[in-house]
Amino acid sequence: MRRPLLEINNLSIYKKNYSLILNSDFSIQTNEIVGLFGSSGSGKSVFSLFLLGLLNTRIFSFSAKQAVFNSSSVFKNLLLSGVEDFSNFRKKHISLIFQDPSVSLNPTIICGKQIKECCFDIKPNNSFNYCLSLLDEVGIENPKKVFFSYPHELSGGQKQRVVIAIALASKPLLLIADEPTTSLDPSTQRSVLDLIINLKKRRSFSVVLISHNLDLIKHYCDRIFVLKNKSLISLDNPENKKHVRLLEDYLFKIKNRKFPLTNSSSGFFYKKFYKPNYSSPVIFKLEKLSVSFKNKPSFFALKDLSLSVFAGDCLGIVGSSGSGKTTLGRVFCGINKNYSGFFNFPSHNNFLQKSVQMVYQDPFSSFNPKYTVGDSVLEIINLYNSNLSVYELFSLVSLKEDYIFKYPHELSGGQKQRVSIARVLASNPSVIVFDESLSGLDIEVEFSILELIRFINNKLKITVIFISHDLNSVYYLCNRIIVLKNGEITDSFNSVDLFLNNRNNYTKKLLSDSNFI
């Protein structure tokens, strides 16, 4: 039997005196794709940092019987490598695809220059053409245009393809993909993952695909490791009886916590539907509203939209990347005022600033890392002279008091999103817009945040506008759904009618994509 490309035995990782991973084995063969699955906080990202030699030794420590990188062209004992030695090894042989391309790309540098920085063995006079060939290889339609573009000028899918091009620039033997598609819509997720698989076959490198989406990992990976209770459990090892029962119980919980898009007769999930109250006061009314941009006046992000939002509504807005969902949310919040057509809202002073609030997709980038999260909430309380205290707001979103004194980097994704919601509630809003606020969260955390949003809508009587590319969560939460495509409303219906045969083809495609991922 051939030796694995990477083989690790009896690995333990500690954070100060707390163990994160204990006595675990891991291996990956050349040209193999291995999935690493686990819930938030299970240690997936810490394990990937170990593979990259990027663990902060002031905080983390580790031990292992063996950690060997062994290919036909290179041999490396990772345990005996110093920091500088491992850094030089990593630059040439191991690459990483980050979770959020918006954060991992430098916003002040054109994309081509960022790819060039990783072309270690390419002569300077050949680097431009090499970068263009990489962009073409990852499916960019106009490589030269993207080369000279800044990240903010690209769509989410294009940015992720640029990140993949950066990862390929050094011609790695091992590619670590850490939640590479969580911020993308299902259709784009599929195209990006298909791209990674095709590149793996063409270039013969190995892939560690890290995700909290078990269905995705099962579909794409040759083998799967589950990180649970500080252990790496191999799914392809039926003799590992020690963990079989634990794994079966865990997968059962995941299966039954999920809210799949099926009829209630499936037995998985029964949703208690409540219809919108169309007799409630109208909060927002849009008639033939269009949005275009100064640099592209002929392109309409939104076109001839007519829509009413009622008090107490829980309205879902769904569509693929570039459909205009976020632009519409920014219109509701008064952030984007560059529109034509009719848009009315209550005219009392500062209504849009105070009474309509937005919870953003990435909670980490919406916090000041120098402030405790309690201070971030207190800032809004003081700004709007709220009668609620920080303690009361944290209690509302089910966070313990000691979290008030923590910094953003000390919280998990779900905890940061709860603080984001607490900060929004501090202004006593009438409407909250959730813009892809659950992207990147595992199914259990997502479910708990959805329940919190439902509490806000039902008990606090706050109107909710829920923007997402995930039809699963929109269907679970909302009583009314509109579907956007190319800036236009292509379908509008009550949630209870989602599975009717008269849904249009685009809605059916979104339905199919949501079942796929």
Q: What is the pLDDT of residues 449-492, one digit of tens each?
A: 898 999 999 889 999 999 988 888 888 899 999 999 988 999 99
| Between 166 and 104, the higher pLDDT residue | 166
pLDDT of 273: 53
Does residue 306 fall inside a structural domain?
no
Q: Is residue 442 situated within a structural domain?
A: yes
Amino acid 131: pLDDT: 94
With tokens 């938030």, the residue in question is: 40
Q: Both 230 and 116 in a single domain?
A: yes
Higher-pLDDT residue of 127, 363: 127
Query: What is the per-residue pLDDT across 288-299, written as a single tens digit (0 to 9) for each?
Result: 999 887 767 677
Q: List the one residue out of 350, 333, 281, 337 whose CA is nearest residue 311.
A: 281
User: For residue 289, is it within any domain?
Assistant: no
Give the type of residue at 136: D
Kindly indicate the confidence band of residue 130, based on its pLDDT and cuts at 50, 70 and 90: very high
Domain count, the chain: 2
Give yes or no for residue 516 having a pLDDT over 60.
no
Q: Is 269 domain-assigned? A: no
Percent of the chain with pLDDT over 70: 88
What is the pLDDT at residue 249? 56
User: Is the pLDDT higher at 23 or at 512?
Assistant: 23
Of the three residues 228, 256, 284, the one that is the final residue of a domain is: 256
Burial 292-322 (b: 16+ CB within 10 A, else e): beeeeeeebbbbebebebbebbbbbbbbbbb
Q: Check whether 124 has a pLDDT greater than 90.
A: no
Residues 230 and 323 in one domain: no
Predicted confidence (pLDDT) per residue in 227-242, tens digit? 888 888 887 654 555 5
Q: Could you tell me the pLDDT band of residue 260, with boundaries at 50, 70 and 90?
A: very low
Q: Are residues 250 and 322 in the same domain?
A: no
pLDDT tens for each residue of 59-117? 888 889 988 888 777 777 877 777 777 788 888 889 998 877 877 899 999 999 999 99
With both helix axes pointing from N to C terminus, report the angle between 186-203 and 156-168 in degrees, rounded to the nearest 10. 20
Please, which residues bridge with residue 148 across strands?
Answer: none
346-402: pLDDT as tens digits: 544 455 567 899 998 777 778 888 999 999 999 999 988 888 899 999 999 989 899
Confidence label for 120 from pLDDT (cuts 50, 70 and 90): confident
pLDDT at 268: 32
Indicate if 210 and 329 belong to the same structural domain: no
Higher pLDDT, 337 or 298: 337
Residue 253: the pLDDT is: 53
Average pLDDT, stretch 420-438? 91
CA distance 43 to 21: 7
Which of 256, 280, 299 is the C-terminal boundary of a domain?
Answer: 256
Domain boundary among 256, 273, 289: 256
Is residue 282 a part of any domain in this protein?
no
Whole-number pLDDT of residue 406: 92
- Name which of 456, 442, 471, 435 is nearest 362 in CA terms: 435
Residue 459 lies in a domain: yes
Q: Rounded distance, CA 289 to CA 477, Å?
A: 26
The residue that leads in pLDDT, 243 or 369, is: 369
φ, ψ at 228 (rounded to 5°): -145, 135
**DSSP secondary structure letters along 380-392:** HHHHHT-S--HHH
pLDDT digits (tens, 9 = 90+) for 131-147: 999 999 998 989 999 99
Calpha distance 362→306 (Å, rounded): 29
Task: Point out which residues pair with 435 in neighbouring strands.
Answer: 467
Q: What pLDDT is stored for residue 240 in this prediction?
A: 53
Q: Compute the residue count for the chain.
A: 517
What value does the mean pLDDT of the chain take? 83
Q: Quick one: 47 and 115 in the same domain?
A: yes
Q: Are residues 245 and 318 in the same domain?
A: no
Look at residue 320 and tell me if it is in a domain.
Answer: yes
Per-residue pLDDT tens for 171-189? 999 999 988 887 777 777 8
CA-CA-CA-CA torsion for 498, 504, 506, 507, nearest 10 degrees? 0
Residues 64 and 186 reside in one and the same domain = yes
Is 359 in the same domain as 252?
no
Show the domain range for 18. 6-256
Task: Examine the domain organization and report whether 148 and 38 are in the same domain.
Answer: yes
CATH of the domain at 201: 3.40.50.300
Label the pairing between strands 6-15 and 18-28: antiparallel
Co-location of 252 and 380 in the same domain: no
Which pLDDT does position 164 carry in this prediction? 92
pLDDT at 245: 55
Q: Does 241 share its domain with 323?
A: no
Q: At what angle do helices 413-425 and 373-384 cross, to 10 degrees?
A: 10
Query: Does residue 277 sit within a domain?
Result: no
Tell me what the mean pLDDT of segment 312-330 comes to.
Answer: 88
Residues 468 and 370 in one domain: yes
pTM: 0.77
What sign has the CA pseudo-torsion 138, 140, 145, 151?
Answer: negative
- Dihedral over alpha carbons 51, 52, 53, 56 (to 10 degrees): -100
